[in-house]
Amino acid sequence: MLEGRALTRVEAIVLDLDDTVFDGGEWNVAALSQGAARRGMQAGSVERAIAEFLRTRSPHDPALYNAILLGCFQSDNGFNVRALHEAASEYRGEERSWEPYPGVLEALSELRRHFRLALLAEGPPEQQKAKLKALGISSFFELIVFSDEIDGVRSRRPDPRPFQLLREKLDLQGRQILFVGDQPARDFKEARRQSFVTCRVFTGASRAEAYPDATHRADYEITSLARLPELLASSQRSISSYLLSHLPFLDVVGRPDSAIASAAQEAVASQLSLELPMAALEMSLLPPAPAQAPAELSVMPQPPLSADPAPEQTPAAVPAQAADRRALELLPTPALPLPRRSSMSGRRDSASRRLILHTLSRELQGQPALE
C-alpha cells in the first residue's frame, strides 16, 4: 500500500481495457499488419518494420504508422498515415482467437460475485467494441464507458470527464470505486483527484515505466489483474484478524467482512467520534506474497467470556479447536498496551472498553498510547 485509501469501502470496480484486461498492444500490431496488407504493402517488409520499432518503442506509439510506411518505402505524409489508420481501424480480430491475460477470466468471475463491475474503454468506439466481442467478456460488466463517445480524443485520460461519468452512472462516491489501470503517466492522477481508490497492474507496454512523480502514483500495485481478488480478500482478512486481536469485545466471528468493518467503525465512532482508518490495516501485493501466511501469523477466534475462568489450554488442544472454527490470517500489527478483561459478571466495564478504543485509535493515527 502506498497511501491510505481504504479498499474496505469499495463497492464497484472499474477496469481499463487495453493492457489491463488483455494485450492491447498485440491487437494494435495485428490491426496495423492487416491494414498494411489491405494497402498493398509486402508482409515481410511490414513485419521487419514493426519488429525494429518495437525494440525500443511501445506498440501504442502513433509513430509506428510512420515506421511501417517508411519500412515499405512509402512516404509517411499525412495522407498515407490517415489511409493506413483507416485501414487498420477496420480490423475486427476475426482471423484468430483473443483471450484476456492468464487468470483474468477467473478473476472476473470471482469479483462479479462481490462487486459491481464496470469497464472504461479508450479509443475508437467501433474498434473497442470489436475487442470486447472478440474477447467475449461484455457480460461481466454492468456498465461500459467508451471515453471517445464523450468528446472524441479530447476526452481520453487524463481528461476528468470519463471518471465523472463513471461516478454519475454508478451513483457512487469516488472513494467507493476502485479504478484499475496500467499506465503510470495517465491513469491514476486524475482518478485520485476525484477520490477514486486506484490500483496499478504491471502488464502491457507500460509495465516497466516509472511514475512521473509522486502525484501519479497508484494507491495499490499488483502484478496482474488476476491478483485483484487476492488483494481485496487480504484487505478484509487483515481487518478481521486485527479486530479479533485488538477489539475482542466485538462479535465478529462468522460475520461478513463488510459487517465486521462497519461494526469496528461504529464502535470507535460511538465511543470517540473518530473514524477508524481502515487503510492502515491493508497491504500491497507487489512483490507477490506467499500463497499461505506463516503459521505464526495465524490467530484463532477467542471463545466468549464467562463468569468462570476457562481451563488453561494445552498446545495439543488447539488443532481440535481449529477444526471447528475458522482461522483468520493476522498481519503484523503494533503491540498495543490494552487493559485486561474484566471478568465481573462476564462483561468488561465501560472504562476498560473506552480505553481499548482510545488506545487503538491513537496508535493507528501515529499518536503515542496513553499511559
Burial status of residue 299 (CB atoms within 10 A of its CB: 0-12, 13-18, 19 or more)? middle
pTM score, whole prediction: 0.66
Domain identity same for 195 and 255: no
Domain identity same for 255 and 106: no
pLDDT for the residue numbered 294: 36
**Chain CA centroid to CA 65, Å:** 33
Taking the C-alpha atoms of residue 248 and residue 350, their distance in angstroms, rounded to an integer, is 14
Q: Are 192 and 184 in contact (CB under 8 A)?
A: no
Domain identity same for 138 and 214: yes
Domain count, the chain: 3
Residue 32 in this model has a pLDDT that exceeds 80? yes
Domain identity same for 58 and 174: no
Could you tell me which of 247, 213, 198, 221 has the C-alpha nearest to residue 15?
A: 198
Residue 2 lies in a domain: no
pLDDT for the residue numbered 289: 40
Residue 4 lies in a domain: no
Domain identity same for 16 and 163: yes
Domain identity same for 351 and 257: yes
Q: Which helix (H) or strand (E) holds 46?
A: helix 43-54
CATH code of 175's domain: 3.40.50.1000
Residue 321 lies in a domain: yes
Q: Are 180 and 228 in contact (CB under 8 A)?
A: yes
- Which residue type sits at 303? P
- Which residue type sits at 179? F
Residue 321 in this model has a pLDDT that exceeds 60? no
Taking the C-alpha atoms of residue 50 and residue 33, their distance in angstroms, rounded to an integer, is 9
Report the pLDDT averaged over residues 87-94: 92
The residue out of 203, 222, 241 marking a domain boundary is: 222
- pLDDT tens per residue, range 154-212: 999 999 999 999 999 999 999 999 999 999 999 999 999 999 999 999 999 999 999 99
Domain identity same for 17 and 165: yes
Query: What is the overall mean pLDDT for the chain?
Result: 76
The whole domain housing 35 covers 24-89
